[in-house]
Amino acid sequence: MARSGSRSRKRQSDQVLANLIHICAALGKELSVATRRHAVVSVKSPGGDEMLVTEAGCDLLEVDDKRGWARVCLSSAARGAMASRDGGAQVSAEWPAHALLGRCVAQICPPAVGGYVCSKGGEAALSKIFSGEKRPRAWVPYADPGEQLARRIERVIAQHQAAHEWKPTAFFVAKRGLLVSADTPRRLLSSVRRLISECEAGLPKPGGAPLSLSPEAVAGAKLAVRRAVFRSLGEHVLVEHSVSPAVAWYLRRRDAKELVRPAAVNEIELVYAGGGPTWLEQAAGKSVEAKLSRAKNRGERAGSLLVKGLGLFIAGQGSDLGAAREATETSLLTRAYAAGLGGVNPLTQRQRSVLASARPDTRAELAGRIAVVTGAGSGLGRSIATGLAKAGAAVALLDLDLPSARKSEELIRQRVPDAAASAIRCDVTDEREVERACDSVLDAWGGLDILVNAAGIAPSYPLVDLSPDKWRAALEVNLTGYFLMAQAAARIMIRQGIGGSIINLSSKSGLEASRDNTAYNATKAGEIHMARGWAVELGDHGIRVNSVAPGNVFEGSKIWNPEYIRSCAKKYGIKPEEVIPYYIDKTALKRDIKGTDVADAVVFLCSERARSITGQTLVVDSGQVMVR
C-alpha cells in the first residue's frame, strides 16, 4: 500500500509540473521577451498542499522539468513556507499572492493591460468594459511585491465576498498587471486570452508607414550614444537600434516627447530598461551626456534612448539588450494607451525604490536580498550595511542612536543612489523593540534574508576593577542582543521558507583572549559558540549561520574612543598615540584593517559563493590570530 501511495503522489507531482510547463510554454509564445521574463505562473497540487511557482526573472520559454521553478509547501496555518528550491531556483517574490488563489495562476502585464493599470482612468474604463458580466473583474489598488500584494488581494477578496458572495478570479492590479486564476490550465489560458482581447478592443491599433532612415544616420547615432555612455557613465556598452512598428507608430504621435517625461510607469520598464526612455532631439552633443548623467543621479540606468526621427537605441550589456528593448517598446505602447485613458499614472519615487530593491540589477551579487544590520549607526555596522547595499541588498539599519543610523542611511544613498535603505531605532536588548523593528522590515519589504549582529560594547577593565554592572551590560548587548535578534530573524526566515544567512560579528578576542577584557572576551567567544549551535538548529531550513572575527578596526569605531585608547595605553605601558601603531605591528601583514575588509567578508558569507559554508568563523585580522 505504501508503494502504491508513493507512486500516486509521484504521478500527481509529475502532472502538476507538466501543467506548469504547458502554461509557461503557451504564454511564452504569446508574450514578448520582457513580459514573459516578468510573468509569474504557479500550479498547485490537487490537495492544495504544494505549489510550483516560476523562478524570479525566468523566461517562460526556458521553464522545463529541471529548471525555472521552485516547490512551495503550503499549510493551513500560514500563507506558505518554502520547503525546497528545485534546481536552485530563486522563487518569485509574488508567491504569497498566488497561494491565495486557484489551482492555476498567471500574473502578466502585456501592453494592453498596462494601458489600463498604468493610467489614471483605467479603473473606470475597466468597469465599463466588464459591466455586463455577472462576476465583474476586481480592481486592486497598487501594492508592493510579495506579502504586501497578498494582503491587499486578501482584503479585496473579503470585500467582494461580503458584497457578492463569490471570489473574483481575475484581478487588475494598479501599476502591476493582471492576475488570473482557474482550476485547469485550459481555462486559465482561455481566460487570459479573453481578458487581453477585451482590453485590446478598446484601444487604438498601432500602424502606419515605417520610418525612412539612412544606414549612415543610424550608424552615426549608435557611435554617438556609445560615446556619450562612456563619457558620462564610464561604461563600455553595446548599442542596439529598433524602429519596430510600435516605435514608428509612437514617434509619429504629437505628444511623443511629453509622454516619456514621467518616470517609470511599471515594474517591467524599471527592471529591464532601467527606467523610462530618455527623449533626444538628436543623438549627438554634450546634451546626451548631460541627460545620461542626470538619469544616473536619479538612480536610473537610462539604457533606452528615443531619438526623434531615428527610433529607439538601447545601450547595455549583450544579454540585457533584448529584454531592455522589448520592455521599452512595451512601455511606449503602455504610455500611448494610458494617454487616452485619463493620462499616465507613473510610479512614485517610493514605489520605484521598493520595486528596484525587489528586482534590482541581476548582476548585483545580493540582488533582491533583504538585510538587517544592528549597530549600523557607526563603525563596522555602518561599513557592513554599506557593503551589503553595494552588493544589491535592501538594508535596514538598526541602532539605538537613530540620528547616527540616519546618517548611515544618507551615506549609503550617496554611494549607492538606487539603494533601498531604512534607518530604524532599536534597543537590541529589548524584546519588544526587536519585534517592532523586524515588523517594520516586513511591512516595508515583505521578508528577511540576512541578519548581521554587529551592535556591541567593550568595557575594558582589569578583572579586579570590573564592576558587576559593566559585566551585565556587556552580557545584555553582546549576548542577549544577538540572541533576541537571531531569534526574531530565524522565526521570519523559517516562516518565509527560502533560507537565509545570519552573521554574528565576533572578534579575534573571541578566539584568543586579550588582557583586561573579561566581559568582551567572554561575550565574543559566546557569540561564536551561539552561532555554531544555531547553524546546527537552522540548517534544515536552509539558514546558514557564521561568525566574522575582525581584528582591531579603528576607523569610525565607537569602541576605539579616547577613553578606551587611554586604557589600552595604560595596559601596555605606552603613550595613547602609540596604541594604534602598536596593534597594527602585531599583525602578520602589518596592515591596518578597514571596515570594507570586514564588509567584503560578510558579503561573501551571505552570497551564493558561500552556499556550503555554515557554523564557521572567518577571521579578518591581517594575520594576528590563527584559527585552530
Quote the CA–CA distance of 10 and 164 in Å, as a whole number.
39
Mean pLDDT of the 356-383 span: 78
H or E element in which residue 178 lies: strand 177-182
- The pLDDT tens digits of the residues spanning 208-251 come to 777 788 887 887 787 777 778 777 777 666 678 899 999 999 99
Is pLDDT above 60 for 351?
yes
Shared domain check, 283 and 249: yes
Domain that holds residue 145: 2-201
User: What does each C-alpha distance from 49 to 24, 72, 85 come to in angstroms?
Assistant: 21, 9, 16
What is the residue-wise DSSP string for 57-126?
A: T--GGG--SSSSEEEEE--SSSS-EEEE-GGG--B-TTHHHHHHS-SEEEEE--HHHHHHHTBTTHHHHH
| CATH code for the domain in which residue 487 is found | 3.40.50.720
Listed residues 299, 320, 352: the one ending a domain: 352
Q: Do residues 97 and 74 make contact, with C-beta atoms less than 8 angstroms apart?
A: no
128 CB-near residues (< 8 Å, 6+ apart): none
Asked whether residue 571 is domain-assigned, the answer is no
Asked whether residue 578 is domain-assigned, the answer is no
Q: Which of 520, 564, 572, 582 is catalytic?
A: 520
The predicted structure's pLDDT at residue 84:
41
Q: Do residues 453 and 504 make contact, with C-beta atoms less than 8 angstroms apart?
A: yes
Shared domain check, 614 and 545: yes
The predicted structure's pLDDT at residue 77:
37
Listed residues 352, 376, 400: the one ending a domain: 352
Shared domain check, 146 and 99: yes
Sheet containing 311-316: order of strands: 238-242, 311-316, 304-307, 278-280
Shared domain check, 252 and 145: no
Asked whether residue 568 is domain-assigned, the answer is no
Is pLDDT above 60 for 86?
no
Shared domain check, 299 and 399: no
Quote the CA–CA distance of 12 and 472 in Å, as a whole number.
57
Average pLDDT, the chain: 85
More confidently predicted of 284 and 385 = 385
- The pLDDT tens digits of the residues spanning 284-335 come to 767 777 777 776 676 566 678 899 989 998 887 655 678 888 999 999 999 9
Shared domain check, 501 and 444: yes
Shared domain check, 170 and 224: no
Shared domain check, 226 and 144: no
- The pLDDT tens digits of the residues spanning 526-556 come to 999 999 999 999 999 999 999 999 887 777 6
Quote the CA–CA distance of 603 and 613 in Å, as a whole number.
13
Quote the CA–CA distance of 520 and 567 in Å, as a whole number.
14
Q: pLDDT band at residue 609, thresholds of 50, 70 and 90?
A: very high
Is pLDDT above 90 for 72?
no
The predicted structure's pLDDT at residue 211:
79
In the residue annotation, 520 being an active-site residue is answered as yes
Q: pLDDT band at residue 361, thresholds of 50, 70 and 90?
A: very low
Asked whether residue 163 is domain-assigned, the answer is yes
- The pLDDT tens digits of the residues spanning 387-423 come to 999 998 889 999 999 999 999 999 998 888 768 899 9
Is pLDDT above 60 for 83?
no
Asked whether residue 563 is domain-assigned, the answer is no
Shared domain check, 195 and 168: yes
Q: pLDDT band at residue 87, thresholds of 50, 70 and 90?
A: very low
| CATH code for the domain in which residue 342 is found | 3.40.225.10
Is pLDDT above 90 for 381?
yes
- The pLDDT tens digits of the residues spanning 1-57 come to 455 556 666 777 789 999 999 999 999 999 988 888 889 999 999 888 889 999 988
Is pLDDT above 50 for 81?
no
Asked whether residue 26 is domain-assigned, the answer is yes
Quote the CA–CA distance of 602 and 597 in Å, as a whole number.
9
Is pLDDT above 90 for 276?
no
More confidently predicted of 430 and 297 = 430
Grid cell 509622454 is found at 259
For residue 341, give the nearest of 580, 112, 502 by alpha carbon: 112
Mean pLDDT of the 81-88 span: 43
Long-range contacts: 485-491, Cβ < 8 Å, 24+? 485/372, 485/374, 485/428, 485/434, 485/451, 485/453, 486/451, 486/453, 486/530, 486/534, 486/545, 488/434, 488/435, 488/438, 489/372, 489/438, 489/448, 489/451, 490/534, 490/538, 490/541, 490/543
Is pLDDT above 60 for 358?
no
The predicted structure's pLDDT at residue 363:
55
Mean pLDDT of the 116-139 span: 86
Quote the CA–CA distance of 579 and 568 in Å, as a whole number.
7
The predicted structure's pLDDT at residue 74:
83
Is pLDDT above 70 for 62?
yes
Shared domain check, 331 and 425: no
Listed residues 352, 387, 408: the one ending a domain: 352
Is pLDDT above 90 for 620?
no
Q: Do residues 114 and 177 make contact, with C-beta atoms less than 8 angstroms apart?
A: yes
Mean pLDDT of the 86-115 span: 85
Asked whether residue 250 is domain-assigned, the answer is yes
Is pLDDT above 50 for 426?
yes
The predicted structure's pLDDT at residue 298:
63
pTM, two decimals, is 0.58
**Percent of the chain's residues with pLDDT above 90:** 47
Asked whether residue 222 is domain-assigned, the answer is yes
Shared domain check, 22 and 124: yes
Residues facing residue 372 across a β-bridge: 396, 451
Shared domain check, 277 and 423: no
Nine cell digits for residue 55:
523562478
Total tally of structural domains belonging to the chain: 3
Is pLDDT above 50 for 80?
no
Quote the CA–CA distance of 455 and 473 in Å, as a whole number.
13
H or E element in which residue 435 lies: helix 431-445
| Per-residue DSSP letter, 292 | H
